[in-house]
Structure 1
């Protein structure tokens, strides 16, 4: 066996090891959300189990984060939803004194829509989160002469949550930022089925 044969054998072996390691890593990363029992939805559900509207999350501390990558410069509130009981209506008045953002997330934590206070129409946020059948039922009830002004979002999963974040420039502004986050109301609403 010549040195070129040994080099080719080593390179093929090394390439095989790298390929198997990359495949195992990819499978582990993709399977983790399905296999993790204490995902972000489970942690938030346990925290907000009795809340009917938005609930202010505690100030993030090292090692005690409810959501991934919590930022201490944000006051956050959460609205849990289960669309099997009706749509979720998210609305509120926003002033342009501070930054507010909303991220609509499915049960597995993936964002399916995000918006900021800059997208508010005349200082009002009005969003309805629903399933495809609920959207069809709501569209049947719409008046063609007066189209709805609300933004309608079809959620990819029946369960999920809305994360409302308000920016604070200084730690002393936490209460005011929390009040801005809680100014966004969210409540389930039934849709009459024809």
Structure 2
């Protein structure tokens, strides 16, 4: 009887282990295989290569996860297949602004706040590794002594999006926050071909 009991416990432990493993794998794989990933859902609201203001957060109808109604949000979709994306912002000193760079599934690969600005300006170029290599090769060695005036990010995927948030402390500041996120420019660039 004791051997049967231990065999049953071993069998039960194996079933629980396999079920737990399947559950964890399903959770980790779901964002990559879901047909309506973050990029596809945002593509219904925005066009690639331009900044688009997202609708105000309402309970149960949020566009992005954990959306805060105190923030105005804008999105810029990108596809790096034809060239890099340039993101530029001139920032006022009085409002929190965050910019996050995301993959098509919504995973953040880089983020920054207005504190990262250089003299009130943020300049970022998002590109693939081959595009970065081409830009660095075209610049040559003569510019190595000069500090870069832009941040260069290598995106893990060719498609993704930039999410811009500006905080409005009071409801009366909402229009200013929306104007600020809409003023962040994103534009596709083409690399010069030899």
User: What TM-score do you get using the length of structure 1 for normalisation?
Assistant: 0.91
* 3-state secondary structure, aligned to 1:67: coil
- 1:43-54 to structure 2, matched below 5 A, reads 43-49=41-47, 52-54=49-51
Q: In the alignment, is residue 16 of structure 1 matched against residue 17 of structure 2?
A: no
Indicate yes or no: 2:187 matched with 1:187. yes
The corresponding residue for 1:42 is 40
Write the distance in 2 (CA, Å) between the matches of 1:193 and 1:65: 42
- CA contact under 8 A between 1:74 and 1:166: conserved in structure 2? yes
- Please say if residues 103 and 161 of structure 2, whose CA atoms lie closer than 8 Å, have aligned partners that are also in contact: yes
Q: Within 2, Cα distance between the matches of 1:52 and 1:35? A: 25
Report if aligned partners of 1:40, 1:66 keep a CA contact under 8 Å in 2. Answer: no
Alignment-derived partner of residue 141 in structure 1:
138
CA change 1:31–1:144 in 2 (3 A) is closer
**In the alignment, structure 1 residue 65 sits paired with structure 2 residue 62:** yes
Q: TM-score, normalized by length of structure 2?
A: 0.91
Any residues of structure 2 matched to 1:99-118 within 5 Å, and which?
99-118=96-115
Q: State how far apart, in whole Å, the 2-side matches of 1:44 and 1:116 are.
A: 22
Q: Secondary structure of 1:80's partner?
A: strand
CA distance, structure 1, for counterparts of residue 8 and residue 67 of structure 2: 46
DSSP-derived class of the 1:25 partner? helix
Please provide the CA RMSD for this pair.
Answer: 1.7
Note the residue ranges of structure 1 that are not aligned, 5 or more in a row. none
- The 2-side partners of 1:16 and 1:171 are apart by 55
Provide the C-alpha distance between the structure 2 equivalents of 1:147 and 1:66, rounded to a whole number of angstroms: 38
- C-alpha distance in structure 2 between counterparts of 1:38 and 1:71, whole Å: 22
Unaligned runs of 5+ in 2: none
Q: CA deviation at 1:85?
A: 1.7
Query: Does structure 2 retain, via aligned residues, the 8 Å contact 1:40–1:68?
Result: no
Give the structure 1 partner of residue 93 of structure 2.
96
| Paired residue total | 191
